[in-house]
Structures are given as C-alpha cells and as structure tokens.
A and B are shown apart, each in its own frame.
Chain A
Amino acid sequence: MINPTDPENKSTKGPSKVKIRQLPTGVRGLDEILGGGIPEYSFIVIAAPPGSGKTTLAHQIAFANATVQRPALYFTVLGEPAIKMLRYQQQYTFFDESKLGTAIRFINLSDKLMESDLPAVLAEIIRQVTAANPSIVVVDSFRTVMRQAVAGGNQLEMQTFIQGLTQFLTSWQATTFLVGEYHADEMRGDPLFTIADGLFWLSQVTERNSVVRKLQIMKLRGQASVPGLHTIRISDSGLQAFSRTLGFAKKKETAKRQRRLSTGIPELDEMLGGGIPEGDHCLIAGTSGTGKSALATQFIASGLRDGEPAIIAIFEERPLGYVDRAASFGLDLHTPREQGTLEVLYLRPLDLSVDETMQEILDAVERTGAKRLVIDSLVGFEMALAPGFREDFRESLYRMIVALTGAGVTILSTVEIEENFTSMPLSHYAISFLTDNVIRMRYVEIDGQLRKVMVVVKMRGGNHSKDIREYVITDKGVVVIGPRQTDYIGLTTGIPTRTGRTHEASPEPKAT
C-alpha cells in the first residue's frame, strides 16, 4: 500500500510505477523479441493463416507457465479436436505429459457453442476459470466463436462477448491468449484487435521451393518489442524465433583495443601494418584456388597458438576434410577441436534462414568464447540459404558482423569472385561497406605461368602497404615471397607488361 507520508514517496523518486511481471514464452528467442516476455495479465491475440504454428506457440506458452497451483486452461472450440491436438503436440519435446490434467487442462466448448449461444460459452468459461484459478487461459480457435456470431448477424453479441471475456479474465489475473485463423486483410476494423493488449502475427511465405515462417509483434502494450518480421522455425522442440537483432539489441559494445592480430603470415602482417586490428572484419577476395581458405586457416591457427578460441564456419566442405587440409600445411586443428577451443561448423542448411544460420554461429561463439571467426565462404553461405532468404543476406550479414565485431570478435571472411583479365573486382556482393579491411588475391600471367599476387586494398583502421606482393602456396600454406614487383605494370589486370628485367627466376618450377 502507498503511504503518502513515506519519505520515499516524497523524494525525487515519486510514486513507484506498477511493475509488470513478464512471463516466459518457452520459445527460444521470443522473449527477447517481446522485450523480456509476455506482460502478465495481458490479453494477447495470436493470429495466423493455417499451418503457421499458432497452436504450437500457444501450447509452448502454456507448458512454460502452467503449475498445479496456477494451471493453464486450454479451451478448444470448433477447431482441431483436442484428442488430435494431444496426438500431435506430444511429439514436441516441450510437451510434458505429467502436466496434463493437473497443470494443463483441456476443455472442449464446441457443444456449448453448438447448443447454446455466446453468453452460454462465456458463462462456461467463467465457471471453469472461477473453479480452476488459472494463470493462463487459451481459447483455440477463437475465430470459430467469432464466425458463428457474425454468421448469426449479431455483432453486438460478439462485442459483448469479447468485452465480457477480457474484463473477466483480466480481473481474474489470468494472461489470456485468443488463437485464431486470420488473413492479413481481415485485421482492419475488427474490434478484437483494438481491445487486445498484444497481437502476434504469424505467417508463411513461399519463395520458389522453400517456405519461410515469419513472426511479427504488431502490437504489445506496456513494453518495447523488437519491430519487424522475425524468422521462426518449427522443429522437434517446437517453435524457435530468430530476432532480427540476433539477440544483440541489449548487449553492450566492447571498446576496441588497438591490438593487432597476426594472420600467421609474417609478410602479410607487415603489409597490414602489424596485423588485423582486433575486432575488425577482414575480407579476403579472390578467385578459386588463390589460397583464401589456406590464409583463413593460418589466421585461425595463429590465434589458437596465442590461446584464442576460434570458430570456422564452412559451407562447401566437410569439417574433417577442412581440418585434414590444414594438417597438410603443418597446422594442427584436430587437437584444438578435441579440446573445445576450436569449432568447425559445417552449415549446409539449404532451407535455413540467414538468421537461423547466424544464430548457430553466434551460439558457437558464445559457447567457446571465440575471439576469431572465419566464414569460408560468403558465396557458400548465401548458396546454403533458402532462396527466399537470399534477399536478406547482405542486411543480415551486416547485422551479425556489426554485432560480433562490436563484441570484440575478429572476423575473417572469404569471398570468391569471378576473375577477369581487364580489371580487379573486389566482390560481386558490393559488401566492402561492411568490411574494415580487404585483401585481394589474384592470378597474374607472367612468363607463361599463372602466378599469384596479393595486395591490401583497404584498411579502415590505419595505414597499410600498397605493395602488390607475389606469393606461393607450399606445404607451409600461403607464403609471401620477394619484395614488391617493380618489373611489371598492369599486375591488377592479371596480364602485366614487363618493364624491368627480361629474365627472372620463376618462384615455382616450370615444366621442361
């Protein structure tokens, strides 16, 4: 009770605001999207076209919150029969059969609705709620209740029903979920959406052969939810939501240190002015076979030697092959994998969303405390996604890179580019805006051989060498050889013209 004489109340603090408790949804990622959870005693509409996961979502919330003392009452109406609902829902891992009948009670209202009218249905809900004192009440499908009232031409009865239900359940301290099949164009003018404290909108989008499920919190009174469309997935464990902010909305940015991280190639470190600045995103661009993956592996191995856990996300090759290839360069990645300081994630999801894939990477970073991350390659990453997600790829990638580098993780990505012999493209993605540093590797034709050169094109954090350096790939990995090439012009085109010495030793043996 508020005591007006209490000095606490007279102080600058003023009267305290009501604290709204937030209930967990039991859906991974959803609490963060909602801004912490479901506001207690709120009146939420879960609306969606068929097959979007609304009943599963309602079940997850019920199972996450119901107790024997404060049970969940799940009223089924003319929708899916409860016996079938139980048959299917028990397949999910969140389904705890020990809660059935005690903490979670299913009550079928279809007879009441068919035999009587809406006031009788409301009276039955009130009777059951009064007897059970539930914390959670679900009416599924609420739409069928409304349809019957509308078909009967009795709009007033319908509104009286909604009003009566909301007022009673709020007073009874129950958090209520009305589950209904709605299409997007039906939301205008429906009084239900005006009365509701929250509106969770689920949808399915078909893009070529893939289906993408989305969730939007269209309305939520009393707290700030994350706006926009969030990807959801239904798996054995039920729904999982992937926030557009990838969970980084509330994380603090770590101040970047000035430390330089070695790439594992001393000459390249020199070209970079001492290495890659910690917390940067470095892009390695080059055509197939130029040694991008070898360089990435050397970067990871260098960090592991310094005691920095790491993640390698690969899309085109299996982890064992990747690790074995590193061994051919004398780099032992097997041991750190066994020790848990290195995770090689093989992500070939084909039908996964970009947010889900990124969540896997983020989970691994969190799990290992990784300081270095390699994404090998961005092209493979994009190809592994369902077509519908490719449009969002750059935007999502940007969010993940900003979030991870902000948290102090140094990222090295490889990107395969289509080589030509007239210019030196950096990437067909136009992603250089999201990278701090760009290293370009390319073939050049010299003296009847395809030789390789690299150049540091961009470094946001400081000065760098502008030299074009030749390198070879040996059993030590990428090895930069020799000083900058001054004997040629036009190296960036791939077909240079010799201007200096007429004879020089080839860095790799020529066929005789």
Chain B
Amino acid sequence: MSAPSRPATEGFLVPPTGVLRSAATFLYRRRTFYLLLLLVPPLLWLTTAYLATLLALLTQSIYSIDEFTAQIVRTPTLATYKQLLTQPANLDIVLRTLTMAVCVTLAAAFIAFPIANYMVRYASPRTKAVFYVAVLVPMWTSYLVKVYAWRLILAKEGILSWLFQAAGAQGVLDAILQIPAIGGPSLASSYIGMFIVFVYMWLPYMILPIAASLERVPGSLIQASADLGAHPGQTLRSVILPLVMPGLAAGSVFTFSLTLGDYIIPSIVGAPGYFIGMMVYQQQGTSGNIPLAAAFSVIPIVLIAIYLALVKRLGAFDAM
C-alpha cells in the first residue's frame, strides 16, 4: 500500500504560515502577554471612568461651601459631613430612604422567591420561557414611561381605585390610605404607592439572580432531603434557602442599592418627603452645593458596604 509521495508542505508536522497564524502562535506561546492584551482595556475603563470619578466624588465631599459667596472652598474639612449628620432634616432623609430600601428589598425577596422557584422547578420548558420573557420585557420599556404609568394606575381616579370601587371595597382602600405616616390622600401621593412602584421596578433584578442560583441546585438534593424524612418546609429551610442565599444576596444588593440611589420614583410618585437621590440632584443642581451633594452620595456607598458586611457575616456567600 505505497501512497504516492506528497510535497513536503502537506505533511502535518510542517508549521502553517501567514501573518494571522504566526500572531496566533505568538499569543498562544506568550500567555502573560495574551492576558494583558485582554485585560488592559477593561482595566483602563475601570480605573479612569469608575475609580477616578469615585475618588473625585470623595474629594468633593471633604470640601465645603462658603455660605456668603457660594464658592467651593478647596480645603479638606469634615464640616460638610457634620452638617449632613447633625441637621435633623438631613438625617430624616437618610432614615426615610434606608427604611424604604429595606422594605422594598424584603418585599421583593418574598415575591420573587416563589416566582423563581416555580419557573425553575415546576414550569414546563415552554411556560418557563414565557416567564423569563415576562420578567425581562418590562426591563426593555422606558423607565419613565413605567413610572408615569404607575402614577396613573395609582391616582385618585385611577385604575386601582376604580377596581376597589367596582369590587365594593372602597372602604378597604380608604382604610389603607388612612394609616398614619405611610398613607395619604391617594395611593399616588403616599409612601405605600411609592413602595409599590419600587417593588415593581426592581422585581426582575431579584427574580433573575434567585432563579439562576435555583437552577444550580440539583434536583437530587431536594429528593435526598425528602428521602431522609424532611417535609417540604424543612427541605426549604435546610437545603434550598441556604443554597439560594448567594442569589438572594445578589438580588437584594440590586434592590437595596437601586432604591437608595433612585431620585425619579420619589419625585413622581408618593408623599413629598425628600429621598437621598433627590437631595443629591437638588444640591448639585438648583443649590449648587457640590460638597453636600457629594457627601449625600457617599451615604448609599457606606450603607451598602455595611449591608454587604452583614450579609457576609450571616453566611450568605458560604455556599458560593
């Protein structure tokens, strides 16, 4: 079986030629250079566009404003922070925003978990796809359109109050609106309404991470738990929740930080009380008090850092 002799270049040990080929070979052999090539652009972006601006923000917050000239005094001082943390009105704003963020996060988690669990464990592949689309599509819609739509839904003569009326439950709505502090003349101008809009807006950010971590819990673990005598509730507490914690933590970081930083929802829906985001917007815009605006921006960063430390302490990332 003698094959006809071939030209040497067709043998399979001859290295291929060409510029692209030799570039590929070079990259394959110089792994460090290859990594650098991949990492430098995102690192540049991260350092200049992100870390540098953050640093600029922090620098602004330790400047102060001259009350007579409204000029920024560029000498390091803690006066701005002192002003923020000692004036009751400012503290109220921080507390109001924080309370809202915590409530929204808790509610989103309680609503999102059953939805994610159904999507991942019980829905047929088709229904599951429909659910994913239903969760994602609202995120493609303009944020402002959604907020204004909610304002109409929640308005005094809006769809929701009309539905309450049609169901003969006007009294229930009135009773809800009469709750002190969180009630108001209508849902659209109460903290309850604002809360509803926040939960609606951030729900996808809670559902998706929870669903992702549920997908990674093998069905055999749940069966093993039942096999070993655990009732469904015990399986939920002892197996599913601990393993889903990283997803729950990730989702809650989204809902928590998005609520802390938002200034559009509180200015369109809800009671007139200020939120941190609105304060930043107003201080750097109308009032021109950049140092105070910067100091207010630091508050959510600190709060989220504390939140992450707490979550880590509770062991949420242990199963990662």
Co-complex (A, B)? no
Report A's interface with B, CB cutoff 8 A.
none
Report B's interface with A, CB cutoff 8 A.
none
